[in-house]
Amino acid sequence: MSTLQRESNSIEVRFDDDLLKAYIKLIPIDMRNLFTKEQILEELAAKNVIYGIKIDVIETIVDKQLVYTEVVVAEGDAPVDGQDGNYQYFFNIERDSKPIILADGSADYSSLSKIEKVSAGQIIARYNKAIKGTNGKNIKGQQMLARIGRELLPLSGKGFSVNEDKTVYTANIDGKIEMRNDKIEISDVLVIEGDVDSTTGDADFIGDITVRGNVMTGAKVKAGGNINVIGHVEAADLIAGGAIVLQNGMQGGGKGTILAGGDVSGKFFEQVTIQAKGSVNANAIMHCRIDSQGEVNVSGKRGVIVGGVINAATGVTATIIGSMAEVQTEVNIGYQSDPVPEIIKRENEIKTLVEEIRKIDEAIKTVIAYIERDKRDDLLQNKIQLLKTKIDRNSQISIITKQRNELLEDLERAKDAKVIVTKVIYPRVRIKINGSTLVIKEEFSHVLIKRKGIDVCLFAME
């Protein structure tokens, strides 16, 4: 603090600690002597205050002779620190290590196995670039350095890409995403090292799933792609958009189910319900319900189908069908009901809709003619409604055409439907091919079973 002593005046000057503000206080000794602007500026100069001086404030102090009041008369520019670059993540970068405690006090361990999924094109992270910062200047004109913001290194990993200015990171594939060792990994294959059971919870993933352990009773494994199980499968549910491959087999206990968008393969299936858009391959199928849009192949020296119901679009090949105990076994090949009447029905529906569209087109032409010739703007709504109706009829044709084509494909697949038995077929096996049925009443060896005319017949194989 400094005081300017004159005949009847004193001016006190004070600085704050960081020299960003200077304050003055006018203390009169003789009120007849007025403070002047020059006196104040002289005192500030004496104290090396050269930057940020508020001339307008000083003039106001002088005009009002504001005494005994401390006023800010100079103010510097504070430095603005920079900010480091930072990443904004759109997925959870830390996996939970503790279970969720439920309302009843129990622990939900299944939450530990939740897989975070992303889709191709999805933004997974955004980089906010560093702000450099701005230096300041104090009231004595001295520079005040700001902290400089630092840029971070680009993210590393696999399964994603980044734009040119390194600010937007985007997933390249559908899959699981996780942060591992400070690297982002997106993979379309989920590998489960152990078992899938009530403790780990269900597995649900957009890509392929490989289970190195077992899939236990009550568990569910759902994959948008393929499923591969190295261990055994109990009474569980396996659902895949693609193929399902079991390195061992599945003992479903009457409750296990498989739903596949492709082929299904396994060493054995016992008391399992299988729906496959592809073929089903195994060494043994026992007391199962199988619906295959392809064929069912049971191979090996003891490749057996015994009990249950087998529905296969194109055929069944097995070493043995049935058993010496004459267990009832049902094998249905081709179509279960003749698709020709349904195909004809769909064709007639398409013809009717095509005729409707022809009439709608004529009506549209008539309405347009009235609008253009007679300026009948009131008919515009009629035109719009006719166009909507035409779109609706075209949509119906697309749906019915797809249904007809599927029936034609069924008919084509079933054309050469047959059952091949390379060793033995036992009594009480019921064979149905394209709607015609044959019940096996005695044991036969090395036979080909197919439809001849309206009958199902057995043919000896060489």
- Look at residue 431 and tell me if it is in a domain: no
Number of domains in the chain: 3
The single-letter code of the amino acid at 145 is: L
Of 372, 390, 414, the domain-final residue = 414
Cα(128)–Cα(413) distance, integer angstroms:
58
CA distances from 436 to 300, 338, 456 (A): 29, 10, 6
Whether 91 is covered by a domain: the verdict is yes
DSSP lists the bridge partners of residue 274 as 258, 290
Kindly state whether residues 62 and 86 are assigned to the same domain: no
This model's pTM is above 0.75? no
Kindly state whether residues 65 and 97 are assigned to the same domain.
Answer: no
Assigned domain for 175 exists: yes
Residue 94 sits in the same domain as residue 129: yes
Same domain, 69 and 154: no
87 and 66 housed in the same domain? no
Instruction: Report yes or no on 29 lying in a domain.
Output: yes
Selection from 224, 234, 230, 300 nearest residue 262 by Cα: 224
Give the end of a domain, one of 31, 54, 75.
75
Stretches where the chain sits below pLDDT 70 are 1-8, 31, 95-115, 336-337, 414, 462
Q: DSSP states of 360-423 as a string?
A: HHHHHHHHHHHHHHH--GGGHHHHHHHHHHHHHHHHHHHHHHHHHHHHHHHHHHHTT-EEEEEE
- 86 and 176 in a single domain? The answer is yes
- Lookup: tokens for 167: 């600010």
| Residue 387, pLDDT score | 92
What is the C-alpha to C-alpha distance for residues 357 and 360, in angstroms, rounded to an integer? 5
Q: To 5 degrees, how large is the angle CA 442–CA 447–CA 452? A: 95
Tell me: do 53 and 94 sit in the same domain.
no
What pLDDT score does 101 carry?
52
Looking at the fold, whether 118 and 154 belong to one and the same domain comes out as: yes
- Asked whether residue 33 falls in the same domain as residue 116, the answer is no
The C-alpha atoms of residue 213 and residue 169 are separated, in whole angstroms, by 34
User: Does residue 117 lie within any of the structural domains?
Assistant: yes
Contact 332, 314 (CB under 8 A): no
One domain for residues 172 and 87? yes
Please report whether residue 228 resides in a domain: no
Q: State which of 394, 414, 434 marks the end of a domain.
A: 414
The answer to whether residue 303 sits within a structural domain is no
* Residues 65 and 149 occupy one common structural domain: no
Residues 70 and 88 reside in one and the same domain: no
Domain that holds residue 21: 2-75
- In this structure, is residue 365 part of a structural domain? yes
Instruction: Collapse the DSSP code of 181 into the 3-class scheme (helix H, G, I; strand E, B; otherwise coil) and give the result.
Output: coil
